[in-house]
Chains A and B, each alone.
Chain A
Amino acid sequence: MSHLGDLPPVAAILIAIFVVCGSSLALLGSIGLVRLKSFYQRLHAPTMSYSYGTLLIVLGSMAMFSLLEERPVVHELIIGVFMLITTPISLLMLGRAALRRDRDAKLGHDEIVPPRVVPEEIQSEALRDLSQYGEGKLDRGLLSPSSHE
C-alpha cells in the first residue's frame, strides 16, 4: 500500500484509532443482533454501528483523503448526513410494523406487547404501568414447527 506512506505519522495513527474504534462498534452492534433475545432488544443493536461507528469511519476517511489529495474532501459527509436522517426512519417503521404484527392475533403472539391505547377510555387515567411487558420470549428458532402458532 504505497499511498499510505504519504501520510504524516501522527495523522496515520489518529486515523488508525478512528477506524479501529468505528469498526469495533459496528462489529459489536452485529454481535448484539445475534446475542440479544427478543426483537425489541435487537432493535437497539444497529443504532450502535450506525451512530458512532459510521461517524468515526466517515471522519477517518475524510481526514485521510483530505491529507492525500491536499484539498478538503468533504463528500463523505453526505453519507454521514444521509445515514443520520434515514436509519432512524427505517428503524422506527420497523418497530411500528413489529408492534402491529405482535398485536394482530392471527399472526400469533410471539412477543407480549402492551395493548393499544383507546383514547376515549384513557383520557383521565394516569400513565399505565408497563412493567409486566417487555422481557420478551426466548428466541425459539426458525425450524421449530410451532414457532408461528
Chain B
Amino acid sequence: MSANLILEYALSYAQIAMVVAIGLTCWRIIRGPRAQDRVLAIDTMYLNAMLLFLLIGMGNGNVFFFEGALVIAVLGFITTVCAAKFLMRGEVVE
C-alpha cells in the first residue's frame, strides 16, 4: 500500500513540476528579448506539455493520453522548424 502511495505522490510532484516548467517557459516567451528566444521557449513548452500529457496518462491509467502526447510532439516539431525557417529566410516556403 505504501509503495503505491509513494508512486502517487511522485506522479503528483512530477505533474506539478511540469506545470511550473510550462509557466517558466511562458515567462521566457513573454519576456523575449528576441524572436529566436521566443521560438526556443515555445519549443521547450511543447516538450514540457508532451511530458505533462504522458504523466497525466500515467496518473489516470489511461493509454489514450499517449496519442495526445504524440500529436503535441509532431506539432511542436513542425512549429519550430517553420518558425526557424521564417527567422532565417523571411519566408517559409521558397
Contact = CB atoms under 8 A, between A and B. Distances in A.
Given A65-B63, A90-B77, A100-B88, A4 B8 contact: yes
A82 B74 contact: yes
Interface in A17-50: 17, 19-20, 22-24, 26-27, 29-31, 33-34, 39, 42-43, 45-46, 49-50
Size range of the interface on B? 35 or more
> Which interface residue of A26, A60, A101 has the most chain B CB atoms within 10 A?
A26
A13 B51 CA distance: 20
B28 A46 contact: no
Contact of B81 (A20, A93, A142): A93
Nearest to A4: B4
Contacts of B21: 26-27, 29-31, 49
A33 B55 contact: no
B36 A57 contact: no
Contacts, number: 196
Interface string A39-78: 1001101100110011001101100110011000101101
A60 B48 CA distance: 16
Given A3-B61, A13-B6, A90-B77, A79 B39 contact: no
B28 A34 contact: yes
Contacts of A3: 61
| Chain A binding surface SS class | helix
A33 B28 contact: yes
Interface in B44-93: 44, 47-48, 50-51, 54-55, 57-61, 63, 66, 69-70, 73-74, 76-77, 80-81, 84-85, 87-88
Interface residues of A, number: 67
A12 B6 contact: yes
A33 B24 contact: yes
14 contacts: A20-B13, A23-B55, A30-B22, A30-B25, A30-B44, A39-B34, A49-B44, A61-B58, A79-B70, A83-B73, A91-B43, A97-B88, A141-B31, A148-B34
Q: 8 smallest A-B Cβ distances: which pairs?
A: A9-B3, A3-B61, A16-B10, A23-B14, A30-B21, A93-B84, A90-B80, A97-B88
